[in-house]
Structure 1
Amino acid sequence: MSVPRSLFARVRKLEEARAPVMSPIEQWYGSFGSFEDETRAQVEAGALDRTDMLGETGEGGVIRALRAWHEQALFSIWERNRVWERSR
Protein backbone atom coordinates (compact mmCIF):
# COMPACT_ATOMS: atom_id res chain seq x y z
CA MET A 1 0.00 0.00 0.00
CA SER A 2 2.93 2.36 0.51
CA VAL A 3 3.94 2.12 -3.16
CA PRO A 4 0.70 3.69 -4.47
CA ARG A 5 0.84 6.39 -1.79
CA SER A 6 4.41 7.17 -2.70
CA LEU A 7 3.50 7.31 -6.37
CA PHE A 8 0.54 9.62 -5.69
CA ALA A 9 2.76 11.89 -3.60
CA ARG A 10 5.27 12.14 -6.47
CA VAL A 11 2.49 12.87 -8.98
CA ARG A 12 1.09 15.59 -6.67
CA LYS A 13 4.53 17.24 -6.49
CA LEU A 14 4.86 17.16 -10.28
CA GLU A 15 1.41 18.70 -10.72
CA GLU A 16 2.17 21.43 -8.18
CA ALA A 17 5.41 22.23 -9.99
CA ARG A 18 3.50 22.69 -13.27
CA ALA A 19 0.85 24.93 -11.74
CA PRO A 20 1.05 28.54 -12.93
CA VAL A 21 2.89 30.78 -10.53
CA MET A 22 0.96 33.79 -9.29
CA SER A 23 2.78 37.08 -9.39
CA PRO A 24 3.27 38.92 -6.12
CA ILE A 25 0.75 41.48 -7.36
CA GLU A 26 -1.89 38.76 -7.85
CA GLN A 27 -1.11 37.31 -4.44
CA TRP A 28 -1.49 40.67 -2.68
CA TYR A 29 -4.32 42.27 -4.68
CA GLY A 30 -6.12 39.34 -6.33
CA SER A 31 -5.47 40.64 -9.85
CA PHE A 32 -3.41 43.22 -11.67
CA GLY A 33 -6.59 45.18 -12.36
CA SER A 34 -7.28 45.55 -8.64
CA PHE A 35 -3.72 46.76 -8.09
CA GLU A 36 -4.05 49.28 -10.91
CA ASP A 37 -7.41 50.55 -9.59
CA GLU A 38 -5.97 51.01 -6.11
CA THR A 39 -2.87 52.74 -7.47
CA ARG A 40 -4.94 55.12 -9.61
CA ALA A 41 -7.09 55.93 -6.57
CA GLN A 42 -3.94 56.75 -4.59
CA VAL A 43 -2.74 58.98 -7.43
CA GLU A 44 -6.08 60.82 -7.45
CA ALA A 45 -5.86 61.24 -3.67
CA GLY A 46 -2.42 62.81 -4.07
CA ALA A 47 -0.59 60.03 -2.23
CA LEU A 48 1.46 59.03 -5.30
CA ASP A 49 3.02 61.16 -8.02
CA ARG A 50 0.90 61.12 -11.20
CA THR A 51 3.79 61.38 -13.68
CA ASP A 52 5.86 58.69 -11.96
CA MET A 53 3.02 56.20 -11.64
CA LEU A 54 1.02 56.87 -14.81
CA GLY A 55 3.39 58.73 -17.12
CA GLU A 56 2.56 61.91 -18.97
CA THR A 57 -0.26 60.30 -20.98
CA GLY A 58 -1.81 58.35 -18.13
CA GLU A 59 -0.84 55.00 -19.63
CA GLY A 60 2.88 54.82 -18.87
CA GLY A 61 5.16 55.12 -15.90
CA VAL A 62 5.50 52.51 -13.20
CA ILE A 63 2.08 50.99 -13.95
CA ARG A 64 3.05 50.26 -17.55
CA ALA A 65 6.38 48.73 -16.50
CA LEU A 66 4.72 46.53 -13.89
CA ARG A 67 2.00 45.49 -16.34
CA ALA A 68 4.66 44.32 -18.83
CA TRP A 69 6.54 42.54 -16.03
CA HIS A 70 3.30 40.86 -14.95
CA GLU A 71 2.11 39.86 -18.45
CA GLN A 72 5.52 38.46 -19.43
CA ALA A 73 5.74 36.54 -16.11
CA LEU A 74 9.22 37.91 -15.49
CA PHE A 75 8.66 37.54 -11.75
CA SER A 76 8.90 33.76 -12.13
CA ILE A 77 12.54 33.82 -13.24
CA TRP A 78 13.76 35.56 -10.12
CA GLU A 79 14.46 33.71 -6.91
CA ARG A 80 12.05 34.39 -4.11
CA ASN A 81 13.70 36.54 -1.51
CA ARG A 82 12.80 39.24 0.99
CA VAL A 83 11.99 41.61 -1.87
CA TRP A 84 8.75 39.68 -2.50
CA GLU A 85 7.59 39.95 1.10
CA ARG A 86 5.07 42.74 1.39
CA SER A 87 5.49 44.83 4.48
CA ARG A 88 2.44 46.28 6.17
Structure 2
Amino acid sequence: MTRKTTPRPNKPDDFEARWRKHRLLVRLGQVLIGAGALVAIIHWLAHLEAFGPGQPPGWLDLAAGYPTGLVLVIAGAILAGRKRPTAKS
Protein backbone atom coordinates (compact mmCIF):
# COMPACT_ATOMS: atom_id res chain seq x y z
CA MET A 1 0.00 0.00 0.00
CA THR A 2 1.53 3.29 -1.04
CA ARG A 3 0.69 6.52 0.62
CA LYS A 4 0.03 9.58 -1.45
CA THR A 5 1.86 12.60 -0.24
CA THR A 6 1.07 16.11 -1.17
CA PRO A 7 4.07 18.30 -1.78
CA ARG A 8 4.55 21.04 0.74
CA PRO A 9 4.45 24.55 -0.58
CA ASN A 10 7.86 26.14 -0.74
CA LYS A 11 8.31 28.27 2.34
CA PRO A 12 10.23 31.44 1.62
CA ASP A 13 13.49 31.81 3.47
CA ASP A 14 12.70 33.55 6.76
CA PHE A 15 15.67 35.84 7.45
CA GLU A 16 14.09 37.26 10.62
CA ALA A 17 13.73 33.79 12.16
CA ARG A 18 17.36 32.97 11.37
CA TRP A 19 18.45 36.31 12.86
CA ARG A 20 16.48 35.67 16.09
CA LYS A 21 18.03 32.21 16.41
CA HIS A 22 21.48 33.67 15.76
CA ARG A 23 21.04 36.35 18.45
CA LEU A 24 19.72 33.78 20.94
CA LEU A 25 22.76 31.54 20.43
CA VAL A 26 25.15 34.50 20.69
CA ARG A 27 23.54 35.60 23.98
CA LEU A 28 23.70 32.01 25.26
CA GLY A 29 27.40 31.96 24.41
CA GLN A 30 27.94 35.21 26.28
CA VAL A 31 26.18 33.77 29.33
CA LEU A 32 28.38 30.66 29.17
CA ILE A 33 31.51 32.83 29.01
CA GLY A 34 30.34 34.68 32.12
CA ALA A 35 29.51 31.46 33.93
CA GLY A 36 32.92 29.98 33.09
CA ALA A 37 34.69 33.08 34.35
CA LEU A 38 32.61 32.98 37.52
CA VAL A 39 33.48 29.31 38.14
CA ALA A 40 37.20 30.03 37.67
CA ILE A 41 37.11 33.11 39.94
CA ILE A 42 35.24 31.27 42.71
CA HIS A 43 37.70 28.39 42.44
CA TRP A 44 40.63 30.81 42.67
CA LEU A 45 39.08 32.47 45.73
CA ALA A 46 38.64 29.05 47.32
CA HIS A 47 42.38 28.46 46.87
CA LEU A 48 43.02 31.78 48.58
CA GLU A 49 40.84 30.51 51.46
CA ALA A 50 38.41 33.40 51.08
CA PHE A 51 35.51 31.16 52.12
CA GLY A 52 37.18 29.70 55.18
CA PRO A 53 40.22 27.64 56.03
CA GLY A 54 41.20 24.64 53.94
CA GLN A 55 41.88 23.97 50.29
CA PRO A 56 39.37 22.35 47.92
CA PRO A 57 39.78 18.58 47.66
CA GLY A 58 41.81 17.18 44.77
CA TRP A 59 38.83 15.78 42.89
CA LEU A 60 37.25 19.25 42.95
CA ASP A 61 40.40 20.68 41.37
CA LEU A 62 40.15 18.14 38.55
CA ALA A 63 36.39 18.20 38.00
CA ALA A 64 34.84 21.50 38.98
CA GLY A 65 37.67 23.98 39.16
CA TYR A 66 39.65 25.59 36.41
CA PRO A 67 38.94 22.88 33.77
CA THR A 68 35.18 23.38 34.04
CA GLY A 69 35.59 27.14 33.86
CA LEU A 70 37.79 26.77 30.78
CA VAL A 71 35.35 24.41 29.05
CA LEU A 72 32.47 26.82 29.70
CA VAL A 73 34.47 29.78 28.37
CA ILE A 74 35.49 27.86 25.22
CA ALA A 75 31.94 26.62 24.55
CA GLY A 76 30.61 30.13 25.08
CA ALA A 77 33.21 31.61 22.76
CA ILE A 78 32.26 29.14 20.04
CA LEU A 79 28.60 30.13 20.32
CA ALA A 80 29.24 33.85 20.76
CA GLY A 81 31.59 33.93 17.77
CA ARG A 82 28.98 32.77 15.29
CA LYS A 83 28.92 34.34 11.86
CA ARG A 84 26.02 36.63 11.11
CA PRO A 85 23.36 35.11 8.89
CA THR A 86 23.14 36.71 5.49
CA ALA A 87 20.03 37.39 3.47
CA LYS A 88 21.21 35.07 0.67
CA SER A 89 22.13 31.95 2.65
Whether these two folds match at TM > 0.5 is no
More helix by share: 1
TM-score, normalization: structure 2? 0.38
Q: Larger radius of gyration, structure 1 or 2?
A: 2
TM-score, normalization: structure 1? 0.38
